[in-house]
Amino acid sequence: MSDDVRNVFVVGLNDFNRERLENLRGADGCRFHGVIDPAAVYDTEVFDIAAMLEEATAQLEAFDGNVDAIVGYMDFPVSTMLPILCERFGTRSPTLASLLKCEHKYWSRRVQKEVIPEYIPGFTAFDPFDDDALTRIGEAGLYFPFFVKPIKSSGSRLGFRIDTPEDFYHAIERLRGEIGLIADPFNTVLEQARLPDEIAAVDGHFCMAEEIIGGWQCTVEGYVFDGEVVSYGIVDSLRYPQVLSFFHYRYPSGLPDPVQAKMRELTDTVMRHIGFDNSAFNIEYFWDEVQDRIWLLEINTRISQSHCDLFEKVDGVSNQQVTIDLALGRRPDMPHRQGDYAVAAKFFYRVFFVDAVAARVPSDEEIAELEADFPGSVIALQVATGQRLSTLPEQDSYSYALAYIWMGADSAERLLEDYERLAARLTFEFDDIEG
């Protein structure tokens, strides 16, 4: 093996991502290696972080060569494992403390409040196993309606809008039954960090209650390189009418330029204050158009995998470029508007059932025909024939995403038209439908 080849280890590397990585700028000087089987981080909701850290450490120690970088693109548990692994092997990453100031939702809100208080909602932490939790939320100054979510969540899972006491107790029942799936492994990570006393008291089994915020949702994709904060793209997150479920992510953003500029300014302020460095991140915001008010929703310590194809279609390369360059100590080499399309989107093909069994899903031949008829499209089914929808991982509380569909076009209008034509040809059938 040549001395100038850089060995990059990717936690949960699958074939889909390997192909993208090998097309990045400078990838010819890299060799990509998988760490931990993809199924252990993609296709499960049970995460034994201690065992995964032990497995990853053993794999890396057994490697005959230099470990030049360790990266990942997944949210929990991968994002929280990376600083621990990188510290063990002396590769570049943010500190665990700075990462937790983003990912521990209560700590993150506390830190945000120190520098951008007018851009965050009212919030409080509460224990879902406390029978007086609703009273304590009221004592903290939060009243109906409000939103609840775990201190550490994954995707939109276990997030609920609360309009009545009945809504709250329904949410509490779900939270008590399911929060341990993330809380227990997250606590394994918290044990590795030195936390302020007021944060240590709020462990992974706690939840957040926050004022309802809303509006036009978007995500600022950025990175920090040697202390310099760079925001390189804003992606819109557009929902189905009247519900919380996402319809599609669209890039570039259609937000007014002054709103985008203010979001970049807020991003710079908060990421500098946190001390996050040498890594990618993304921050989700709302713009309340009526009040012309910006709200910071949450900070994620990674690129969004959902956006990789969008940047490739519009800018010419996946934003995985950012992650790899930073991990190797290089200033990211991201092009701008050098792709084949003016606009791109990831669509979520959904059904709004309580539950059902998929009796039929589109065949491989049908998918291939659609992708041929709509050049540039990528269709990724999320459900198999015979599968009960409630067994699908990473779903929100209101619907099931049966397929992800990436497409590009020369305008936002054409993009929607093409998607509607493609979606009309996707044939699913269901048994045992619960409405």
Do residue 312 and residue 362 come from a single domain? yes
* Cα–Cα distance measured from residue 396 to residue 160, given in angstroms and rounded to the nearest whole number: 9
Crossing angle, helix 257-274 and helix 96-103, to 10 degrees?
130
257-270: average pLDDT: 98
Q: Is residue 117 part of a domain?
A: no
Judge contact between 384 and 36, C-beta under 8 A: no
Crossing angle, helix 49-61 and helix 180-190, to 10 degrees?
50
Q: Indicate whether 286 pLDDT > 50.
A: yes
pLDDT of residue 1: 44
Tokens of 23: 């097309």
Tokens of 83: 């600083």
Do residue 247 and residue 290 come from a single domain? yes
pTM over cut 0.85: yes
Do residue 266 and residue 415 come from a single domain? yes
Do residue 398 and residue 423 come from a single domain? yes
Which pLDDT tens digit goes with each residue over 321-367? Answer: 999 999 999 999 999 999 999 999 999 999 999 999 999 999 999 99
Do residue 46 and residue 169 come from a single domain? no
Which pLDDT tens digit goes with each residue over 48-82? Answer: 899 999 999 999 999 999 999 999 988 888 999 99
Do residue 321 and residue 420 come from a single domain? yes
CATH code, 230: 3.30.470.20
Predicted confidence band of residue 106 (pLDDT cuts 50, 70, 90)? very high
Average model confidence (pLDDT) across the chain: 95
> What is the domain range of residue 354?
216-434
Do residue 157 and residue 240 come from a single domain? no
Q: Which single residue is written with the structure tokens 């991140």?
A: 281
**How far is Cα of residue 337 from the mean position of the Cα atoms in its chain?**
24
* Cα–Cα distance measured from residue 384 to residue 143, given in angstroms and rounded to the nearest whole number: 42
Do residue 394 and residue 285 come from a single domain? yes
* Cα–Cα distance measured from residue 261 to residue 95, given in angstroms and rounded to the nearest whole number: 28
